[in-house]
Structure 1
Amino acid sequence: MAPSLKADEESGASPLHVMNIMGMHNEAAAALAEAGGLMQANSSYFLDSEVDDDGRPKRTGTFWTASAHIITAVIGSGVLSLAWSMAKLGWIAGPICLLLFAAITYYTSLLLADCYRSPSSSISSSTGSMIEKRNYTYMDAVQSNLGPIQTKLCAIVQYTNFAGTAIGYTITASISMVAIARSNCFHKEGHHSPCFTSTYPYMLLFGGIQVFLSQIPTFSKLWWLSIVAAVMSFSYSSIGVGLGVGKVATEGRHIQGTLWGLFHTGEKFQTGDIWPIFQALGNIAFAYSYSMILIEIQDTVKSPPPENETMKKANLMGVSTTTIFYLLCSCIGYATFGDQAPGNLLTGFGFYEPYWLVDFANVCVVVHLVGAFQVFSQPLFAFVEDWVSLSYPKSQAIHKHCKINLPFYGPACKLNLFRLVWRTTFVIFTTLASMLLPFFNDILGVLGALAFWPLTVYFPIEMHIARHNTPRWSRKWICLQSLSIVCLLVSIAALVGSFEGMAEDLKVYKPFQGHA
């Protein structure tokens, strides 16, 4: 390995560049460089370059960019299903569940923010001083705190959920695009016209856009996309709230809904009613699923101040902002439609007019999900590419970059063959999977159930216990483990309810023949 580094230096590539493209952690890269006799020879490079204490390019993220990333990740397609979830839970349990999920997510995100730096120390590449090792990904944090077995489990859950989230976003974006076409049709033909429109062409269109955007090389380059997406999420959430208020005001409706949802008195409770309630919990859990990319977001934040301080403030901003919007959207949607609240607030056609405003809201949904798809996919892209780079350090197809000049774009774009093939293949897979299982609420429930307990609750709690050597059976240990067990039971219930809903949908669904 050392001779190959030497050869790269002679060809003009810096040791830092070689370390970065191979995706090595700081200690491994430093050891290899030292073995090749390069660290000392290039000490001036590290001191003079704009690099952080780990030898990587200077991070420039701030509280505002981190907050934008969080809001982009949290206020996703899940917000559109919350009125439906509220209809299953009722006026009492619905808001309580929302607030509980918000509180749990915020608390565990604080625990997770402290895991970005590991207790173990390493030598700074830029200053030579001892520093706490950075964990660049969620999985790195699990590796540093819990060991290899837990890391493998985390990898399976996290990266499966990344792929699942990409599928969910493709489904939601296509539904919103179909809603635009149908809205225009209803405006011309009348509200009782069938206006059938297939979702499949729009899934292909969304996939084509993602093929292009997926060539953005790193997560840190997405700050502008996250800010645009965050603005879009605020826009369509606000429009949904405004349409609900307007519908109640103009039609003179009373506030709809019941105190107990499907448990409301006056009707006999059926066993089958429990599954939608569980599925509603999964939808709420999905609406708060962002812990899986929290470490990756934190790795874009500059220091000083310490990254965990900035991230904790960003978490508070992100979770509190989204919770306010969630309560507004879910409560006003439920007050407007009651137990008949559509599964997707903007595409269920409880709203027809003004059609241009409904169209604009759905355009905002699509633009937001274009960005959110990348926010969730980039960590998966990086994981696979780093692993392949380490496995094949001399492969030209993996490490060589070609420069391409694009019209109306200033600097030349660097294109990598492996990145092009791998990321395009991933987008094709998610698009095909979306076409096979286009079930909005069911998919969201499954994704929420799969991600909430392990990634939002279990791993942050276990890492906190390990970092602080919390004694077994102490009061704090019992409280943390009790929280974890309760959340596990909720996740299991949500998963069962969502699979039950999907099974019912599959009984009547014919792949590649459905219409919206």
Structure 2
Amino acid sequence: MVENGSSKYYQQNGYPAMEVSLEHGASKCYDDDGRLKRTGTVWTASAHIITAVIGSGVLSLAWAIAQLGWVAGPAVMFLFSFVIYYTSALLSDCYRSGDPSTGKRNYTYMDAVHANLGGLKVKLCGFIQYANLFGVAIGYTIAASISMLAIRRSNCFHEKGHKNPCHMSSNPYMILFGVIEIVFSQIPDFDQIWWLSIVAAVMSITYSSIGLALGIVQVIANKSIKGSLTGISIGAVTETQKIWRSLQAFGDIAFAYSYSIILIEIQDTIKAPPPSEAKVMKRATLISVVVTTIFYMLCGCMGYAAFGDDAPGNLLTGFGFYNPYWLLDIANAAIVIHLIGAYQVFCQPLFAFVEKWALAAFPESTLITKEITIPIAPNKTYNLNLFRLVWRSAFVVLTTVISMLLPFFNDVVGLLGALGFWPLTVYFPVEMYIAQKRIPKWSTRWVCLQMLSVACLAISIAAAIGSIAGVISDLKVYRPFKSSY
């Protein structure tokens, strides 16, 4: 799952791509496909990937390593980083169909699937993508509301002391987040605002760095490194819980690394060959995966070293840290600001898809086609579409209600990571690569790629089972709309 992805990856320098008919190849201003000349380099592509990957998923890594221990935890993280790098390299070869330097460009992940696989697999990919976006909306609602609640609880602990339970419900904050998203969802092309990616990047770096710094400070204060080689011990949890939690940890790590869904869009920002976009993208992927893995290792391992088996599911809202309370408030405020925009970035494509389908299915419906002009400034108007108002509001309400029923950050993050990892990160890139390179069936390379895909499918299924078991366990003690933290 991508944390800071933005539709800016579809554009160059913040301006929409322009379609221009070119009879004699690219001009000084336009590339061979008639779009504005791309200017991206290995460094800008690396920055886009790092910005896209580092997000709220980093907050659960200390908990994930606590379940696996000092041996398996870092090893699993290295395993995921290798798989992500390898499949991203395969996917980068699918940006152009045919010749890697002059073939037809595929501008999005779906374009690549359509060009290389076609048929039912395109519909399957679309369903998985949109289902994943729906799940991300729920996950972001939970994460944002818990961070808003954490700010209030942090101030309560500061005023009344750490022994005061300061029990509060997250439901009002979920409703508040939902109301904000209903308003923003009605802003046309909100996800294409040029500064949105910059804000997301700054916020992500802010709260991730604060979490890392607080972990380092706690380790220094403890004067020792906590944790064990095998993770949380039997006794603190049952044998069954140990198994489910370890599997769920796989999903949490997978969620933190997911970005394949926007890799093609990032690659579409790289300037034309030579060298080919695929070569540049592979270098950018290697750089970004190395940087991200180092950062994740530091965050996860420092959090585990600071708290050991007691590492919270969310490093900044689990209240392993109480002070400085104002720094925790800043970190959680950064999470909220980031997720408010990220929710729209992920949901706007889903909104647009449903509205495009509705318009094609019911072209004569005034509910769908009628625009009501509302003046909002002397020279500005807003076009209100009733179908957009009703559909987008209903979507936000639905995700908010589900979030209130299942407000379990760790379990939901693990489930999202598990469900999105195999199909979007492994299966489709592998199948597209096989189709494009025409790799013979049952050849050594074909067999190796299929073994990788099957192994990752097994990991995804296991992680999903562990996350679902976690949800079921939490529901045994949670009372919807009544329980408080």
Range of TM-score over shorter length:
0.7 to 0.9
Match of 2:307 in 1: 337
Choose the corresponding residue for 2:134, options 137, 145, 163.
163
Choose the corresponding residue for 2:174, options 203, 213, 225.
203
Question: 2:165 matched to 1:186?
Answer: no
Change (3 A) 1:284 1:302: closer
SS of corresponding position for 2:98? strand
Match of 2:7 in 1: none
Match of 2:395 in 1: 426
Distance of 1:272 and 1:475 partners within structure 2: 39
Match of 1:455 in 2: 424
Change (3 A) 1:459 1:82: same
Choose the corresponding residue for 2:329, options 356, 359, 373.
359
Question: 2:62 matched to 1:83?
Answer: yes
Measured after TM superposition, the shift of residue 318 of structure 1 is 3.8
Change (3 A) 1:278 1:345: same
Measured after TM superposition, the shift of residue 486 of structure 1 is 1.1
Distance of 1:162 and 1:482 partners within structure 2: 28
Choose the corresponding residue for 2:292, options 322, 328, 334.
322
Choose the corresponding residue for 2:439, options 462, 470, 477.
470
Q: Which runs of 5+ in 1 are unaligned?
A: 1-29, 31-38, 122-129
Question: 2:446 matched to 1:446?
Answer: no
Match of 1:112 in 2: 91
Choose the corresponding residue for 2:351, options 371, 381, 386.
381
Change (3 A) 1:292 1:345: same
Change (3 A) 1:235 1:90: same
The amino acid that maps onto 1:486 is: A
TM-score for the superposition, normalised by structure 1:
0.80
SS of corresponding position for 1:261? coil
Distance of 2:99 and 2:362 partners within structure 1: 29
Change (3 A) 1:317 1:393: farther
TM-score for the superposition, normalised by structure 2:
0.85
Match of 1:141 in 2: 112
Match of 2:15 in 1: none
Change (3 A) 1:101 1:174: same
Matches within 5 A, 1:495-506: 495-506=464-475
Distance of 1:319 and 1:382 partners within structure 2: 31
Distance of 2:43 and 2:385 partners within structure 1: 31
Distance of 2:278 and 2:288 partners within structure 1: 15
Change (3 A) 1:352 1:206: same
Distance of 1:381 and 1:320 partners within structure 2: 34
Question: 2:272 matched to 1:304?
Answer: yes
Question: 2:478 matched to 1:512?
Answer: no
- Residues 191 and 348 in structure 2, CA contact (< 8 A), matched pair in contact too: no
Distance of 2:91 and 2:72 partners within structure 1: 28
- Residues 226 and 372 in structure 1, CA contact (< 8 A), matched pair in contact too: no
Determine which structure has more spread, i.e. the larger CA radius of gyration. Answer: 1
Match of 1:235 in 2: 206
Distance of 2:31 and 2:365 partners within structure 1: 28
Change (3 A) 1:55 1:377: farther
Change (3 A) 1:327 1:403: farther
The amino acid that maps onto 2:218 is: K
Measured against aligned partners, the alpha-carbon deviations of 1:77-136 in whole angstroms (never above 9, x if no partner) come to 211111001001001110111111112112212222232333399xxxxxxxx9744434
Change (3 A) 1:331 1:407: farther
Change (3 A) 1:399 1:111: farther
Question: 2:44 matched to 1:102?
Answer: no
CA RMSD of aligned residues (A): 3.4
Measured against aligned partners, the alpha-carbon deviations of 1:352-384 in whole angstroms (never above 9, x if no partner) come to 011000111111111222232233223323333
Match of 2:218 in 1: 247
Measured after TM superposition, the shift of residue 423 of structure 1 is 2.8
The amino acid that maps onto 2:473 is: E
Which moves more between the two structures, 314-323 or 54-63?
54-63
- Residues 65 and 223 in structure 1, CA contact (< 8 A), matched pair in contact too: no
Which moves more between the two structures, 417-426 or 469-478?
417-426
Distance of 1:102 and 1:505 partners within structure 2: 30
Choose the corresponding residue for 2:245, options 251, 271, 276.
276
Distance of 2:447 and 2:322 partners within structure 1: 52
SS of corresponding position for 1:178? helix
SS of corresponding position for 1:360? helix
Identical amino acids, percent of aligned pairs:
60
